Amino acid sequence: PETITIQELANRMSERAVDVIRLLMKQGEMHKINDVIDADTAQLVAEEMGHTVKRVAESDVEEGLFDTPDIDADLTARPPVVTIMGHVDHGKTSLLDAIRQANVVSGEAGGITQHIGAYQVTAPNGHAITFIDTPGHAAFTAMRARGAKVTDIVVLVVAADDGVMPQTIEAINHARAAHVPLIVAINKIDKPDAKPERVRTELLQYEVQVETMGGETLEVEVSAKQKTNLDKLLELIALQAEVLDLKANAERAAEGTVIEARLDRGRGPVATMLVQRGTLRVGDIVVAGTQWGRVRALLDDQGVARPEAGPSFPVEILGFSGTPEAGDRVAVVESEARAREIAEYRERMKRDKIAARGGSARGSLSDMMS
Ligand code: GDP
Ligand code: MG
């Protein structure tokens, strides 16, 4: 059943908690400020104190925010979103950097030292590919747990001199659980002790059968260090994307996921968002988790201001009131009032959840003592 604490009820009415307690006392109920009462009692109290009560269910506040269906005729092709995973030190960061550098038009190269959580490159076939840098497998899992499916393809990096290791296996399991296809990139083939054949054989134990072993998993030998076969990798990604037939409706209010967010000294909260459906525009009102804002500026991965960003495009958003969290889903809403209502509602839910957890922790402690 729905419940609320006396304090929270008083807050929402902008009344003093002691007046609420006094009123309940008159009705023969003794309560302290942190006591929980049920929604019906709360409603009686509120009405008694002259307030109109609107009981809002979760479904009302969040209604229509995400995942409203599109019709097929509105769907157009969108770039694939790719995550690079693999064991520590097998070359994930080196590969991400090498791909980005190889793709940046010279002359702009000075601008790429800044770290950003996602970028887009052009494959040899002329199509765009979006790479996101999820900081590790934990982030990937956390995003999935929140219902955010951000990745279409996982590039599994395995160092040819080290072979399949624990986090390689973890990555395989993540991709499988998320129903995301793998492309195997056997890295560090420049090393004298590289044994790509061994990697292929080891992968068989985990039911990853690459093409040269008679399977269907795409594979490529690369060297992030010497920038070998990076184009081949991009080609394979483009090929896999074609098979997946990825589409989105670009002509609707934007939806997406926060890839990372931080508080910038000069610019305030900065959130990198992956747009997943629709088109985000400067001036749009966005909600992400418990934060909201009006988009003041959109910056692409080169730091260039853009008026809008469509499906699979990663952009930095300026204009949030506070800093959202990585993994928060982002939605565009029609008014500031609605944005505020959603953000405040989620804030309350978060507080209630923390309060509930505190309660159960005390319970388990007393259990332990008895
Ligand atoms: P991550 O932990 O998976 O992100 O791995 P890093 O990208 O940080 O790379 C770990 C180490 O391997 C670094 O010292 C890199 O310079 C090195 N490394 C990465 N790719 C290659 C490669 O293709 N060849 C060689 N020889 N070294 C590489
Ligand atoms: Mg790294």
Mean pLDDT of 137-148: 67
Cβ partners under 8 Å of residue 145, min gap 6: none
Burial class (CB in 10 A: 0-12, 13-18, 19+), 263: exposed
d(CA 189, CA 83): 21
Which of 195, 239, 197, 194 lies closest to 216 in space, CA to CA? 239
pLDDT in tens, 180-224: 999 999 999 999 999 999 999 999 999 999 999 999 999 999 999
Helices within the chain (DSSP H only): 6-13, 17-26, 39-48, 58-62, 92-103, 137-145, 166-177, 196-204, 230-244, 336-369
Among protein residues, the one whose CA lies closest to atom 17 of ligand 1 = 91
- Cβ–ligand 1 distance for 189 under 6 Å, the answer no
Q: Which residues contribute to the annotated binding site for GTP? A: 86-93, 133-137, 187-190
Please tell me whether the interface predicted TM-score (ipTM) of this complex is above 0.90: yes
Q: pLDDT exceeding 90 applies to what percent of the chain?
A: 69
* Mean pLDDT over each residue of the chain, to the nearest integer: 88
Whole-prediction pTM value? 0.81
Among protein residues, the one whose CA lies closest to atom 2 of ligand 1 = 89
pLDDT score of 343:
94
pLDDT score of 366:
34
Query: Which ligand has its closest atom nearest to the C-alpha of 134?
Result: 2
Tell me phi and psi for residue 139, to 5 degrees: -65, -40
- For the sheet with 118-122, list strands across it: 118-122, 128-132, 81-86, 153-159, 182-187, 218-221
- Is 24's pLDDT higher than 50? yes
Helices within 104-205 (DSSP H only): 137-145, 166-177, 196-204
- Cβ–ligand 1 distance for 97 under 6 Å, the answer no
Looking at the CA of residue 97, tell me the nearest atom of ligand 1: 7
**Three-state DSSP class for 140?**
helix
pLDDT in tens, 323-366: 999 889 999 999 999 999 999 999 988 887 777 666 544 433 33
Going by pLDDT thresholds of 50, 70 and 90, the confidence category of residue 53 is: confident
Among protein residues, the one whose CA lies closest to atom 14 of ligand 1 = 89
Going by pLDDT thresholds of 50, 70 and 90, the confidence category of residue 57 is: low
Going by pLDDT thresholds of 50, 70 and 90, the confidence category of residue 147 is: low
Q: Which H/E stretch holds residue 164?
A: none
Query: Which ligand has its closest atom nearest to the C-alpha of 190?
Result: 1
pLDDT in tens, 284-300: 999 999 999 999 999 99
- Cβ–ligand 1 distance for 51 under 6 Å, the answer no
**Cα of 165 to ligand 1 centre, how many Å?**
15
Please answer whether residues 275 and 261 qualify as being in contact, where contact means their C-beta atoms are separated by less than 8 angstroms. Answer: no
